[in-house]
A and B are shown apart, each in its own frame.
Chain A
Amino acid sequence: MDTHKTVAAAKAAKPKRGMSLGLVSLLFLAPALLFYIAFELWPIIQTIWYSFYEWNGIDASTFIGVENYITVFTDPELYGSILHSFYLIIFFSVIPIVLGLIIAVLIKDMKSKAGRSFAQVCLFLPRVIPGAAAGVAWTWMLADKGTANQLLRSVGLGDFAHVWLGDQSTSLNAVGVIGFWLQLGFCVVLLLSGIGGIDQSLYEAASLDGAGWWRQLFHITLPGLRGQIGVCLTMTIISALASFDVVYMSTQGGPGTSTMVPGVQVYRLAFTQQSVGLASALAFTLMILVLLVVGPLQRLVNGKEK
């Protein structure tokens, strides 16, 4: 056969050209790698570098060692913003995934195909809307005379009406609700596609054996969805910890500092207060925290599969 010859020839020719397979592969990788280095790695390296300086972004800077990091962990405003973003995980991650799971199973059980697609589209719609636009729209809905309070008043619960975003005791939760609304559709669609991949005969067999809805959920659906849940968790936790658009548009971190998150704080420090070094330190701290949370999570989800 000819192919044997060509392979042999190629093998023979390789050392002549003096290029190892690794080097050739690297050459093919180079364009993408260069972009990755220029637009991903290099900015990260720069951020780390800046974080050791006191710098206004323009003029000469002074090296101050880890002082910026000390500030990040001792200034209640700065570490407070990190705590807020962890609190938001409940709304951005936990609730959307739990509810998303239930909704996905309910949609799966729907008889009408049209109804199924309709429900999917409706639930996915928020995901299509940019976070900034959602932030503005929800600001109106959560205002004193907004939709939320109108609903409460119309059913005689006017006493519970609140200026949701204008009260330090409710503002972070209100921001969380916006995040929940944005993330739910994503989780539902992803989980639905996962459910589609589970062998239907498993459900039939389970029904025959007398397993109810809840048992099927915990013993077939959940284990079958481990991968999808992992992706949901990863994406939503990152969007909670690195949230910016929703908070910036709806509250800008207020009232007081009750909804301040690291994303907004970094922006404010770097561009309004011109403390680029401190902003970099907070940004890098946030990046490490995200990796610390998401990394083990990946292990947990993927590791079990193996």
Chain B
Amino acid sequence: MRIMKAVKTAVAGLLAVSCLTSVAACGPGSSSSKANVSNEPVSTDLGDTKYELRLWDGAGLKAFDDQLIAAFQKKYPNVTIKATYDPDNTSQQNGPRIISAADTPDIARITDINSAVRGNHLVNLDEYAKAYGWDLPDSQTQVYRVDSSGKIGSGSLYAVPDGVSMTGLYWNKKVAKELGITEAPATVAELEADMKKAKDAGKLAMMMPAKEGGTSYIYQALLTNYEGRDAVQDWIIQKDGATFSTDGAVKAAQKIQDWQKAGYFSKDALALDGSTALSRFSDGQALFFPSGSWYSASINEALGDDAGWIAFPGEQADSGSAAANAVTAFGIPANAKNKNAAAAFLDFLQSDEARQIAVDNGYPPIGEGDTPSTDNQLLGQVLTAYEGLVETGNTTDYINNATAGMQASAIIPGFQSLIDGSMTPKAFVESIQAQYEKEVK
């Protein structure tokens, strides 16, 4: 009994002490670790000093990053870069912790620009941009600019993309031919007519992986058609007064639900994940597959010349749109030890050599120079489509990225409920906006 009493007293004491210190002192996380901040003057000259940089990215991009690093090290023999990778499905979760750690890498994938800049975890790149003369199109850097009040969309630059990842519509030309379709749809009306033809012939019209939110790509294109590019982008970058609750958003949701009712998606759409959808489309099981440039290499390999790609069609011809953003947006954490050397890598990302490496890995390059060459005919179509979109400027970031929890907590469950009819288009739109308001402060 005495032991119990002693233990009880000890535990109670501990509890009391911990409660007191925690509540009285301050909340969790307020003591930031800025011990390692070194403020070297901005310079583009690395001299002969030996640098050892660390880079952090998602594991799926290892091949791409390794080639970039090899080329960079050739150019700067005194710099070595050691890369570490996290699995793609956890890099989103780990990102904020990695860039704010005391021993942060020098170059890191920025997973959430909002919290990164608000928490002062990133180096402002403006001086480097001036020193190196960086000149990237606005559409590629807008979401990496943050002003002094913490608003995205304009102001100082905090990250540089290494390539572009964009959405679009794959189509199987062989299946199309069998259905008597010779041209890719130029408008939404034509797309719907083609889907009807496929449905009537007993062919799956559109591969729709709704298990992991794959519905959002084509939805976003419809939304852009109805509400215009700026309205969509303003909402994504959290501009004051931007809202998702618009007639266009409801109309686009209605369209998705209509397509489901018309039988254009497979019966198991809600349980279909992206990679299964890819393998089925590669097997010739559907006419259309709304997805992204990231699958171009595998689809090209599987379907060869039968594989086609177009920007999502608009209401009228030649008004296509896409969601596009960086494959990886690289920034320099505030705690990084070698900021000048890290900036040299960000500068290298914009070189012709790096742009060619991006294309070799299946991504449209950043910048506006000549499009690098590729043997992959499908990627060639992606690049042509993207070139056109850079000119019209009809690209937005992904609605999935509007807030950190948007994809998991609203987009995935929302589209599932929209497709199976348990949510009306209006309720769907409201659920997206509700999640947004929960997170945007």
Q: Within A39-74, which residues are at the interface with B (CB < 8 Å)?
A: 41-42, 45-46, 49-50, 53, 55-63
Query: B39 at the A/B interface (Cβ < 8 Å)?
Result: no
Q: A253 CA to B14 CA in the complex, in Å?
A: 38
Query: A163 at the A/B interface (Cβ < 8 Å)?
Result: yes
Whole-angstrom distance between the Cβ of B208 and the nearest chain A Cβ: 11
Residue among A25, A253, A255, A260 with most chain B CB within 10 A? A255
- A168:B420 contact, CB within 8 angstroms: yes
Total interface residues on B, using CB and 8 Å?
53
Query: B424 at the A/B interface (Cβ < 8 Å)?
Result: no
- B28:A45 contact, CB within 8 angstroms: no
- B92:A254 contact, CB within 8 angstroms: no
Q: Within A1-46, which residues are at the interface with B (CB < 8 Å)?
A: 20-23, 25-26, 29, 33, 37, 41-42, 45-46
Segment at the interface with B among A176-184, A206-214, A267-275: A267-275
- A272:B404 contact, CB within 8 angstroms: yes
Query: A144 at the A/B interface (Cβ < 8 Å)?
Result: yes
- A20:B29 contact, CB within 8 angstroms: no
Give which listed residue, B2, B7, B32, B407, contacts A33 with CB less than 8 A: B7
Q: Give the residues in chain A near B412, CB-CB below 8 Å.
A: 252, 254
Q: Give the residues in chain A near B115, CB-CB below 8 Å.
A: 56, 58-59, 274
Q: Give the residues in chain A near B297, CB-CB below 8 Å.
A: none
Give which listed residue, B6, B210, B270, contacts A22 with CB less than 8 A: B6
Q: Within B216-238, which residues are at the interface with A (CB < 8 Å)?
A: none
- A272:B270 contact, CB within 8 angstroms: no
Query: B35 at the A/B interface (Cβ < 8 Å)?
Result: no
Whole-angstrom distance between the Cβ of A138 and the nearest chain B Cβ: 12
Whole-angstrom distance between the Cβ of A39 and the nearest chain B Cβ: 14
Whole-angstrom distance between the Cβ of A295 and the nearest chain B Cβ: 18
Q: A63 CA to B6 CA in the complex, in Å?
A: 33
Query: A223 at the A/B interface (Cβ < 8 Å)?
Result: no
Q: Give the residues in chain A near B210, CB-CB below 8 Å.
A: 255
Whole-angstrom distance between the Cβ of B88 and the nearest chain A Cβ: 14
Q: A6 CA to B215 CA in the complex, in Å?
A: 81
Segment at the interface with A among B93-101, B181-189, B380-388: B93-101
- B3:A25 contact, CB within 8 angstroms: yes
Q: A57 CA to B95 CA in the complex, in Å?
A: 12
Q: Which residue of A is nearest B213, CB measured? A: A254
Query: A256 at the A/B interface (Cβ < 8 Å)?
Result: yes
- A274:B408 contact, CB within 8 angstroms: no
- A58:B97 contact, CB within 8 angstroms: yes
Give which listed residue, B19, B29, B271, B407, contacts A166 with CB less than 8 A: B271
- A254:B270 contact, CB within 8 angstroms: yes
Q: A252 CA to B11 CA in the complex, in Å?
A: 38
Whole-angstrom distance between the Cβ of B33 and the nearest chain A Cβ: 10
Q: A150 CA to B100 CA in the complex, in Å?
A: 51
Query: A165 at the A/B interface (Cβ < 8 Å)?
Result: yes
Whole-angstrom distance between the Cβ of B63 and the nearest chain A Cβ: 26
- A166:B268 contact, CB within 8 angstroms: yes
Q: Give the residues in chain B near A163, CB-CB below 8 Å.
A: 267-268, 270-271
Q: Give the residues in chain A near B27, CB-CB below 8 Å.
A: 53, 55, 60-63
Q: A42 CA to B14 CA in the complex, in Å?
A: 9
Query: A167 at the A/B interface (Cβ < 8 Å)?
Result: yes
- B22:A272 contact, CB within 8 angstroms: no
Q: A269 CA to B438 CA in the complex, in Å?
A: 12
Query: B30 at the A/B interface (Cβ < 8 Å)?
Result: yes
Q: Give the residues in chain B near A55, CB-CB below 8 Å.
A: 27-29
Q: Within B191-216, which residues are at the interface with A (CB < 8 Å)?
A: 210-212
Q: Give the residues in chain A near B420, CB-CB below 8 Å.
A: 167-168, 255-256
Query: A257 at the A/B interface (Cβ < 8 Å)?
Result: yes
Query: B338 at the A/B interface (Cβ < 8 Å)?
Result: no
Give which listed residue, A257, A269, A272, contacts B92 with CB less than 8 A: A272
- B271:A59 contact, CB within 8 angstroms: no
Q: Which residue of B is nearest A256, CB measured? A: B417
Whole-angstrom distance between the Cβ of A40 and the nearest chain B Cβ: 11
- B408:A273 contact, CB within 8 angstroms: yes
- A144:B271 contact, CB within 8 angstroms: yes
Whole-angstrom distance between the Cβ of B277 and the nearest chain A Cβ: 13
- A37:B14 contact, CB within 8 angstroms: yes
Interface 0/1 of B101-128, CB less than 8 Å to A: 0000000000010010011010000000
Residue among A53, A143, A273, A276 with most chain B CB within 10 A? A273
Q: Give the residues in chain A near B119, CB-CB below 8 Å.
A: 56, 58-59
Assuming the contacts A166-B268, A256-B420, asked whether A26 and B29 have C-beta atoms less than 8 A apart, the reply is no
Query: B180 at the A/B interface (Cβ < 8 Å)?
Result: no
Closest 10 CB pairs of A and B: A166-B271, A273-B405, A61-B27, A166-B270, A255-B416, A22-B2, A144-B268, A271-B93, A59-B119, A256-B417
Q: A residues bordering B, Cβ < 8 Å? A: 20-23, 25-26, 29, 33, 37, 41-42, 45-46, 49-50, 53, 55-63, 77, 139, 143-144, 163, 165-168, 252-257, 260, 268-269, 271-276
- Known pairs A49-B23, A59-B100, A253-B413 / 10 extra A-B pairs, C-beta < 8 Å: A22-B2, A23-B6, A55-B28, A58-B100, A143-B268, A163-B268, A166-B272, A255-B420, A272-B92, A272-B409
Q: List 27 A-B contacts (CB under 8 A).
A: A22-B2, A22-B3, A29-B3, A41-B14, A49-B18, A50-B28, A59-B118, A60-B29, A60-B30, A60-B32, A62-B27, A77-B409, A139-B271, A163-B270, A165-B271, A166-B269, A167-B420, A168-B422, A254-B211, A255-B413, A255-B416, A256-B422, A256-B423, A272-B92, A273-B405, A273-B408, A276-B28
